[in-house]
A and B are shown apart, each in its own frame.
Chain A
Amino acid sequence: MPIMDIRAIIKHQRNRYPVLLIDKIIDLVPGERATGVKCFTYNEWYFPGHFDDEPNVPGFVQIESLVQTFILTFLCKPEYAGMKTNFVSINNIRFKKKIVPGDVLSIEATLKTFKRGIAMGAAESFVDGEPACSAEFVVAVPDILDQFKPKA
């Protein structure tokens, strides 16, 4: 039984079809870490075009799956549930394994700091235990940031 099923994920973050890219959360320590799962089926919209003769998951989908797991490390908290987020930076991206239809991506995200609406951390992902994609993230939560804006 997942800690967060898709309904709980929808409740806590604002991504929706066709860009909701994680299916469940199977481990969660609020404010610290989360483990998410993304299942890939050939029926995904991008496989026929990437590529028609060799379907594999585009890099931008992998990155988005990682960050959507990452943001749940803090959006799982009631005071932040449902807030929108946006990228500030993505660093040290590594693509180590091609991901193909039928693969199940396990994503381990870690929140290093979350202060004044800026979240910093990282995520690593695996297919069948082998490293697939990893990255470091800085993500902003505008609703919190706006509380600290200087006066005009």
Chain B
Amino acid sequence: MSNLEKYVAAFTSTFLVEESALANLKYQDIAAWDSVGHMSLMAVLEETFGIEMDIDDIIEFSSFEVGRTILAKYNVTMK
């Protein structure tokens, strides 16, 4: 799987949403992306990509798109 596919899978498996809903998805747009869901997503992403995110990045991670930019800081590039 590509990094983008893994990234998408992290969202769809954590929040049980379709891939088509991800492009504009933001924190609290759906019930599943609450504070607990956010921590679950961070844990899945860290395990998927073998990284440990800074608290500042966890707080900044407010949407699907912003998350792509943040993960680039950890050398997780997605095309």
Residues of A at under 8 Å CB distance from B? 88, 115-118, 140, 142, 145-151
Quick check: is B36 within 8 A (CB to CB) of the other chain?
yes
The 8 A CB mask of B50-79 against A (1 = contact, 0 = none) is: 000001001111100000000000000000
Query: With contacts A116-B42, A118-B43 known, is A148 near B55, CB below 8 A?
Result: yes
Are A150 and B59 neighbours in the complex by a CB distance under 8 Å? Answer: yes
On whether the beta carbons of B38 and A150 are closer than 8 Å, the reply is: yes
> B33-57 toward A: CB 8 Å interface, digit per residue (1/0)?
0011011101100000000000100
Knowing A118-B43, A148-B55, the reply to whether A142 touches B35 (Cβ < 8 A) is: yes
Q: What is the predominant secondary structure among interface residues of chain B facing chain A?
A: helix
Specify the chain B residue showing the minimal Cβ separation from A118: B39
Contact across chains for B61 and A116 when beta carbons are under 8 A apart? no
- B16-31 to A contact mask, C-beta < 8 Å, 1/0: 0000000000010000
Interchain Cβ contacts under 8 Å between A and B, 6 examples: A118-B36, A142-B35, A145-B36, A148-B39, A148-B58, A150-B59
Contact (Cβ within 8 A) A151 B62: yes
